[in-house]
Amino acid sequence: MIELIFLGTSGGMPTKNRAHSAIALRYGGEILLFECGENTQRQLMYTTYSPMKIDKVFISHWHADHFAGLPGLIQSMSLLNRAKDLHIYGPKHTKKFVDMIMKTGHFNCRFDVVAHDITSKKMVCAGKKYSVFALPVSHSVETLAFKFEEMPKQGKFDAVKAKKLGVEGPDFKKLQKGKSVKIGKKKIRPEQVIGPDRPGKTITYSGDTAYSEKLIEFAKKSDLLIHEATYGDEMKLWAKKVKHCTNVQAAELAKKAKVKELILTHISPRYKETKTFLAQAKKKFRNTKVASDFMEVQVK
């Protein structure tokens, strides 16, 4: 199961109810952090997500509302005697920005902070059971969208069929682990009792971006699309000028990409309530939600 928590959902400036952008994804005992806006480490204190389990941070772009929490997070990791390297992935100039951060004070780190510049559509990194991909998108500075892809899972084990073939006891586990077993003179192969691999789950995160046809293909059939919606539909001309998206544009993109669910985030502080904001988007794509700070999502 993939778990996410929205640690911050505001665009530009924080509000009393919304912190700067940050999303933590927990999978297989590891936590991946997408964005690290101001106050991210304090937001984590109100959750069950340990900052010490964060080994990878993905920064969509180097506007302060997306990265200003990094120095404090790194300092706390150092004070907690972290030993493992911390990897930070971002667009062009990420190495330069991370180097500047590390030179702004005395962090006394016992671990390395390793920066990675991502300059083209590619696989960014891989874990044991997942991969993360990046896509350059259109914003006022170099910006990336990210996609988390879970590896395919083993097909369902047909216990009834296995029993009919004479399988029993410990041979069940052997077959489930991909090993053949011998029943009398018969050899039972895993593919006889295990169905085809099941596709893993896919989560796409847009970062800040103008409406992008490229992102439609990138997010195609994602189980979850998390998309910025800085403005409501009434501000679509302004959104185009500053290379952001509206709620309705994000919903149109979700519909064209045929995703299962859309969550809107990076909401401008001008929107004190989001009922109308959400209703506009749902007219285009019904399975839409507006993120709030500490909102939790499970992708099963």
Active site (catalytic) residues: 65
**Quick check: 58 and 32 in contact, CB under 8 A?**
yes
162 sits in which H/E element: helix 159-164
For 214, the token pair is 């490229």
Neighbours of 221 (CB within 10 A): 12
8, β-bridge pairs: 22
DSSP string covering 235-284: GHHHHHHTT--BHHHHHHHHHHHT-S-EEEE-B-TT-S--HHHHHHHHHH
CA dist., res. 244 & res. 227, Å (int): 11
Amino acid occupying residue 289: K
